[in-house]
Amino acid sequence: MLLATFNGRRWLPEQVESILAQEGVRVRLVALDDGSTDGTAEWLAERAREDDRITVLTDSQPSGSSVANFLRLIVRVQPHPDEYVAFADQDDIWVQGKLARHAGMLASGDLDGVSSCVTAFTSSGTTRLVRKDFPQRQFDYLLESPGPGSTFLITPRLASLTAELVDEGGPARAVEFHDSLIYAIARGRGWKWHIDGASTVEYRQHDDNVMGSNTTWAAALERLRLIRSHWLRNHAIALARVALRVADENSRPELQRMLDLFENPTLRNRLALARKAGSMRRRPRDQRIIALLITAGVW
């Protein structure tokens, strides 16, 4: 498990214990703190002295962001051939059986990645299931992830390919979320991914969330701001470039066509791209919305 932390001392004990308490699997937790000032690093060091399943890495310079810290972990921690790789946020709670359930799916040999739905919860006690398991589409990996990265479990070969692309720089470094990057690499490569309909993570919502679950009006408005600034289109461009790095010859032409449509938003190209909305988002409602936004030139 790769755990990236920054000033998460108030939530970290509950998250770490939910990981170490997973049954039916052998757990190795590797943590890297990003210059916390609230005692997070000290707590991790103390907990590692108590439990040899925990390894704490250090770095002389803060990375500056959650995704950059996760990318450092991906590059520095090479999994053993028999190890699957998971990613842990500092503030969630893993449901018992999460790892054993998803490890069983990967053990079938047909998948390289598994993710799942989550249950968003707040300090006031409200909860909401966040569905991510709508049917996958041909190019959904260019516009959305298959769930929060904290639900991911991936094979060693996918982890190694991700580390290779990140280490060489290029388009992988332009992607702003590690979960989107990993999903795009897997799907661009033609490797299979499963989105589990069960909720395996209790997904804490608070003011410090990097993105959150998109279950509130405030979150929706923030995403609309990103769309209007063309952030989402630029992010899709970066993901398409990453996917092209790993795609085979048969899939490259259509993927290149998608990149061309993203990079040249003329009216004709916007209309062509809008017609492909059904291949870029999994949820039917989202397909209709993105088609309208693309046509109007907002996206």
Q: What is the pLDDT of residues 83-108, one digit of tens each?
A: 999 999 999 999 999 999 999 999 98
Please report whether residue 26 resides in a domain.
Answer: yes
Asked if residue 246 and residue 282 are part of one domain, the reply reads yes
Q: Where are the alpha helices (DSSP H) in the chain?
A: 12-20, 40-50, 66-76, 98-106, 156-167, 178-189, 217-228, 231-246, 252-263, 267-274, 284-296
pLDDT above 70 for 11: yes
Q: Which helix (H) or strand (E) is 130 found in, with range?
A: strand 127-130
Asked if residue 150 and residue 273 are part of one domain, the reply reads no
pLDDT of amino acid 225: 82
Q: How wide is the angle at C-alpha 97 spanned by C-alphas 210 and 134, nearest 5°?
A: 55
Gap between the Cα atoms of 194 and 67, Å rounded = 23
Residue 283 in 3-state DSSP?
Answer: coil
Among candidate residues 32, 29, 51, the one with its CA nearest the CA of residue 40: 32
- Alpha carbons within 13 angstroms on the beta-carbon side of residue 67 total 15
Please report whether residue 215 resides in a domain.
Answer: no
Q: How wide is the angle at C-alpha 209 spanned by C-alphas 204 and 210, nearest 5°?
A: 140
pLDDT of amino acid 208: 59
Contact between residue 201 and residue 93 where contact means Cβ atoms under 8 Å apart: yes
Asked if residue 154 and residue 21 are part of one domain, the reply reads yes
Asked if residue 283 and residue 182 are part of one domain, the reply reads no
R_g over Cα of the chain = 19
- Residue range 247-293, pLDDT digits in tens: 999 999 999 999 999 999 999 999 999 999 999 999 999 999 999 99
Asked if residue 260 and residue 119 are part of one domain, the reply reads no
End-to-end CA distance of the chain: 36
Asked if residue 230 and residue 197 are part of one domain, the reply reads no
Asked if residue 144 and residue 18 are part of one domain, the reply reads yes
Asked if residue 126 and residue 99 are part of one domain, the reply reads yes
Q: How wide is the angle at C-alpha 31 spanned by C-alphas 184 and 111, nearest 5°?
A: 35
Please report whether residue 177 resides in a domain.
Answer: yes
CB atoms within 10 A of CB 33: 25
Among candidate residues 266, 258, 214, the one with its CA nearest the CA of residue 238: 258
pLDDT of amino acid 123: 87
Please report whether residue 152 resides in a domain.
Answer: yes
Please report whether residue 178 resides in a domain.
Answer: yes
pTM above 0.95, yes or no: no
Give the residue from 210, 243, 268 where a domain finishes. 210
Please report whether residue 145 resides in a domain.
Answer: yes
Among candidate residues 204, 15, 212, the one with its CA nearest the CA of residue 122: 204
Please report whether residue 70 resides in a domain.
Answer: yes
Instruction: Give the total number of structural domains in the chain.
Output: 2
- State the residue for tokens 């999460």: 98
Please report whether residue 216 resides in a domain.
Answer: no
Asked if residue 238 and residue 192 are part of one domain, the reply reads no
Give the residue from 190, 210, 230 where a domain finishes. 210
Residue 57 in 3-state DSSP?
Answer: strand
pLDDT above 60 for 32: yes
pLDDT of amino acid 129: 97
Asked if residue 191 and residue 165 are part of one domain, the reply reads yes
Asked if residue 269 and residue 180 are part of one domain, the reply reads no
**Burial bucket for residue 168 (CB in 10 Å: 0-12, 13-18, 19+):** exposed
Asked if residue 25 and residue 170 are part of one domain, the reply reads yes
Reported confidence tier of residue 224, pLDDT bands at 50, 70, 90: confident
For residue 112, what is the domain's CATH number? 3.90.550.10
pLDDT above 60 for 233: yes
Give the residue from 177, 210, 243 where a domain finishes. 210
Domain boundaries, position 289:
222-296
Cα distances (angstroms) measured from residue 103 to each of 17, 27, 117, 155, 164: 19, 12, 16, 9, 23
